[in-house]
Structure 1
Amino acid sequence: MHHHSTEKTRMNSRPPLVRLIFVLFTIISSGNNPELVAGKPHHTASTFQHNHPSPRRLAADTQGFISIDCGIAPGSYYTDDKTQIPYTSDADFTDTGINYNVSRSENPSKQLMNVRSFPEGARNCYTLEPEKGKGNKYLIRAFFMYGNYDSKNQLPVFKLHLGVDEWDTINFNNSSQTVRKEIIHVPKTDYIDVCLVNNGSGTPFISALELRPLGNSSYNKTESGSLLLFNRWDIGSEQEKLQVRYKDDALDRIWNSYMSTSWESITAGFESYSYSETRFKLPGIIMSTAATPKNESEPLRFFLDMDDPSQRFYLYMHFSEVLQLQGNQSRVFTIWLNGNLWSDAVAPERLTSTTIFSTNSVRGSRLSFSLQKTGESMLPPIINALEVYVIKEFSQSTTDQEDVEAIKKIKSVYMVRRNWQGDPCLPMDYQWDGLKCSDNGSPTLISLNLSYSNLTGKIHPSFSNLKSLQNLDLSYNNLTGSVPEFLAELSSLTFLNLEGNNLTGSVPQALMEKYQNGTLSLSLRENPNLCLSVSCKGKQNKNFIVPVLASIISVLVLFLLIAVGIIWNFKRKEDTAMEMVTKEGSLKSGNSEFTYSELVAITRNFTSTIGQGGFGNVHLGTLVDGTQVAVKLRSQSSMQGSKEFRAEAKLLMRVHHKNLVRLVGYCNDGTNMALIYEYMSNGNLRQRLSERDTDVLHWKERLQIAVDAAQGLEYLHNGCKPPIIHRDLKTSNILLNEKLQAKIADFGLSRDLATESGPPVSTVPAGTPGYLDPEYYSSGNLNKRSDVYSFGIVLLELITGQPAIITPGNIHIVQWISPMIERGDIQNVVDPRLQGDFNTNSAWKALETALACVPSTAIQRPDMSHVLADLKDCLEIEVGAMRTQRIDSYKMGSSNTLKSCAVDLENEMAPHVR
């Protein structure tokens, strides 16, 4: 039984789906003719007249070849000693990965002495751009030899993709095995993406990648799909295990020789170059030898056995007479498949190649071929070579090509340092970072976020080719020049953020009009040299806050209040201020005060609700300069009234910390009360920990969020005079911005402590069940350690992914976790969605920190300064472990020493006769 080496599986895995068995036998056992679907074969022949045999001619043209030795130093190239094929580094074909030397191998070729490994990212790709472009036929081949390059002695398993579709699975029997994957493919685009996909079973890597152009007249078929190589044999060669490829084969196919002891080898005694000029360009060294049965009265038989009878095969049989037949000699035979005539009479001619292949694929549990000489034939049948392929369907779906060309140009112009490889949108699981695409057969880009990407230079015209773009965020880069007119021509664009750049000149009037009529959300702040008025001659635009640059003698900044737009108002309304004077004092501050009509304008009549709480609904709003804000509007039916409103507003006006949500302004217009906060685009922590959120927070992200929240709470406790107790700390009151930075929010129940070290303040217990300090609940005595208890529950939620009260059963998270802690079962404690991807030491320390916060007696709990220090230690443990792993990887990849070894590109077994 023969197994192609690329079809081998790891120990204890399933057997291969297909087994190719070549058998010479005198009697075919009965009952071996299952249901079969087969097509009649095609005959192709080319004849050349020669007065005498020509000497062997080697192919010498590698034009159109792409030959990549993966893992050698950037800029390196060499010519292979055996094949004379020039190989180059892969640095120009992929953007990611680490180079390694192979530590051990049995008779490796030069291309197998290095690998490129891809420890980062789920998908990493090579982009090939063949000279002839799309619509042409190519042979694509990839090599993989593990060789224990990473010193882990762990054989990886990973996926190989062609474009957006899965090509095959890469696995190994041992570290010295070479796996070769080969396919004949006609791309629909001018480029071909070959991608390595991490499926969680080891780090993908690759040794070599090759592309060879084929003539479009060869390997024809009537069914759709590409041809995945099963095997390719040079039959009749007496040099066992010899591989033939370029220069002998002009197309650089790899032929594995085979000769059975039950067959007789016949040879022409010379090699003709004429075969290389036929449609299939067959090597003369292969066609000059053939196999025939030793018993001339018997047919030549072989069969294919397969586990999956639905699998479709294409076979190409190559024939050529190798003997000089005498006048009365003839060799004529027919080909039968499972007892049915598959090919009419074949009469091979000398110096002529005849190829037999079916018009349709063949399939069945067993495909039994029999080459039988006809009655008038004096000589037995022969066969010179055989190729077997499996049909592989590829959807060849792609992102809209205009979008692909545009985003690739943007990547090139700005030298974007992201894993932007392969198709931008497909498969949906591997969309490029920062992109969102429409969900259809040929998706388009609808959202592009390149904020904080170190972009420099002008806004490139390629953005204008993203016709379906709805959201474009180019904020906080170093973009210069003017805001281009073409941005207004993007008909689908509804959000444009250009904050934090160095743009100059005026804003195009068409963009201004889109903003004014409400069809475009426009953010332009922090561009100091950008003029926001239409004329840019110092005149104020009544719809915007306009910075006006005057003479070098003085600079005057004017802010105007309007009824429809939103402005910053630094002039305090005296009548409103008088109404706000209460026992607690006045809301005097530099924060802006808004009228109710202004709130209606910035929220577009409160159309977008992004949250809900005891105070009322929270609505998304956009200020005139494009800044997004969250507007918390008090509901008329809310149990929280003006007292809580003033408490929260006053507190946020006097405290400022990067981990506390910033108050932008407030409204106290008659019965309408609202607080306007900075907008936190990633919602609250409870939402992100919910099972409904498929974007699972990584362990490092969770630790960083814990540190952020602890820093905010520690500031309230120890950085404010007098200290402030939050009283309602919970995951839904911890908000996350676009960078996942955590900030504490909702201070409506917060209280000052009269003295930092004085007795606890006695209040009516307030808070949320599950987070409420048991001692505070029973006694009403409030102190800083009441918040510490709540923070401990938040920390347990971050670790486990569970809510404070677990349903069904209404089990408190502390009770739920206790049995696993007693067993020391950290793996089941940590959120299972992390799939074990965390450092155990940091997890244990985080859990111990959380448990220290939740004793029922307050005096047993630590101060937030100690909690913060412990969490920073947890984060350092995790980061340190990751850093060590990366450093070790780079050490392994630091050398690119090449050794000259014999070419042995695949460890294959020859077919066997049973």
Structure 2
Amino acid sequence: MANNSFTGTVPIEIRQCGSLHVLDLGGNRFSGDIPAFLGDMTGLKVLSLGGNLFSGSVPGSFGNLTELETLNLGHNNLTGSLPEEIMGLSNLSTLDLSGNKFYGEIPASIGNLSRIAVLNLSANGFSGKMPASFGNLFKLTTLDLSKQNLSGKLPIELSGLPNLQVIALQENMLSGDVPEGFGSLTSLRYVNLSSNSFSGQIPETLSFLHSLVVLSLSNNHITGVIPPEIGNCTGLEVLELGSNSLTGHIPTDFSRQLNLLDLGGNNLTGQIPEEISKCSSLTTLLLDANQLSGSIPDSLSKLSNLTMLDLSSNNLSGGIPSNLGLISALIYFNVSRNDLSGEVPVTLGFRFDNPSVFAENRDLCGKPLDRECGDVNDKGKRKRLIVVIVVVVCAACLLLLCCCFYVFSLFRWRKKLKAAAGEKKRSPARASSGSSRGRGSTDNGGPKLVMFNNKITLAETIEATRQFAEENVLSRSRYGLVFKACYNDGMVLSIRRLPDGSLDENMFRKEAEFVGKVKHRNLTVLRGYYAGPPDLRLLVYDYMPNGNLATLLQEASHQDGHVLNWPMRHLIALGIARGLAFLHASNMVHGDVKPQNVLFDADFEAHLSDFSLDRLTITTPAEASTSTSVGTLGYVSPEAVLRGEATKESDVYSFGIVMLELLTGKRALMFTEDEDIVKWVKKQLQRGQIAELLEPGLLELDPESSEWEEFLLGIKVGLLCTAPDPLDRPTMSDVVFMLEGCRVGPDIPSSADPTSKPSPA
């Protein structure tokens, strides 16, 4: 009866349920003391009372619950010391007392919980030292003692817990060194020791933790250098070392899989290493309040996923690289309080028009600063003049030749542009849509907007997107921005602007011609492309007015699922499967199947998007090895993560996750590492709780109907696709066959061998 609005006290009549194994009353508004009679229900294995308004202490009768495996009393108003009665429940595997008002020391008898795997005592008032008896909890995987008043050193016995994955001790008063023994806990994924009083240096042994995802040591008294060996933690996504007393340079061999790098508030010196640009997944780079010097590397513009860049309060000099304005995902930018000079790049000044983000740079000028570049102090002018004179004297002849060649090329190019403009005036603006191929400029060798079915020009496209205005952005990804383009004749298209680093023009044209031939009813078909200077690459697609599957599922969850009935969910799954099967039959791998990449046309038919974009963005084999996507967290298969390579089998796994999301309404990212959506579905099936799998909009399905059987078949298909062994997964052609069997029966020919013909409705 969890997550309702029940109030009052727990009725004593529940005691009569003598065979009850699971009692879940969490997430209600029960109040008063926890009933002592619950301790008489000795058959209980799971007791969950968390998220209520219970007060008082834990009843001593709970010591009778010797069969109890899970006890959740978190987020109530319980007080008192940690009950000794609970310490005698030797079968407990999960104990959650977080968010209460318990106080006193953690008793040494906690070591009696020999089977405990998850222990959460966070957000209470426990004080004193952590007992050494924690070393007896050999099955412990998660330890959360955060937000307490714990003090003293960490017990060395913690380093002997082989299964420990999560250590959360932030916001305490713990002191001493960070234990070197943590390096032996090879299963560790999350370590948060922030906001304590730890001192000493960062142990080099942490480099042994190849599974480590989060390491937070900020707001302590840690000193010394950041060990370069930390770059061996290849799975690291979050590294927080702020507000310590670290010195030395930033290591040049950080993992390329970093998503967030926060080194702010330290005493780091030296230059910003070029190697940071290899962290292709980096979304946040915070190096503020250090003593970094040198120039801002132009290579930072390669971080196409970067959303936050803070370099403020350092000693950086030189100009601001103009290419930083090409990072389309960037929403926060700050270079204030440095020694930067020159003009603020126009693109950055336009996007970040707050003068404070460029302030306190003595020789910086231009918008949005109030200082015009002509008003820079005379000293700076004299220095630049001397440099110019020296350069002219040393290389006068070479400079003269270069200028002559440049002027000659400029006049020649202007002549071509005038000729093209004249020809454009003499020709109609647009040809009929039935032509086999159209070009948006003349055939004089200049850049062209190539369309496969109709003619539109580059100028019309730029006007249709309002100069690629922010308000016309439909979506963002590692492959650039997608804009809505509304043309004067009423036609609407989607224009994808690829990021810098795409293929050269000739190779780009060849690859775009190839991708344009990939046509299927359930794929987004490439309608045209543009390749021209300065490194501008555009892809033209049909506009999908009904958004993507992620948005549709979110709307369904807010309307009790009635936005999506069973036939519609079935057709969506079948459409995705048909499109993916066609790609596999064409020896192509998608690599990132997820709800955001399933788009809907005006008739709500599913179209799989964002395939083959790696072919149009990777420039060299070296970049191919580091830039190719293997999927999105929650949808990517385990073997794809390990190998760093997407395969047809990993596509099938991702489809299976999407299938389970579509049927259950649960999001893949709602779950933890210990229980993903696949494990959750299997657990409901094993318990016989099939109704738990149903989205609210599907609850009206009759268990005796054929639609109920179809739903169960869909669940089984999703589980088959997510088999741990890739060899056990069906092919997408098999999946299409199974899903079509839901509706057409075995006697009707299947489209398991996908073609470009329209799929039957």
- Give the TM interval when normalised to the shorter protein: 0.3 to 0.5
Rg larger in structure: 1
Q: Which has the higher contact order (CA 8 A, sep 6+)?
A: 1
TM-score by length of 1: 0.30
The structure with more strand, counted as a fraction of residues: 1
TM-score by length of 2: 0.36
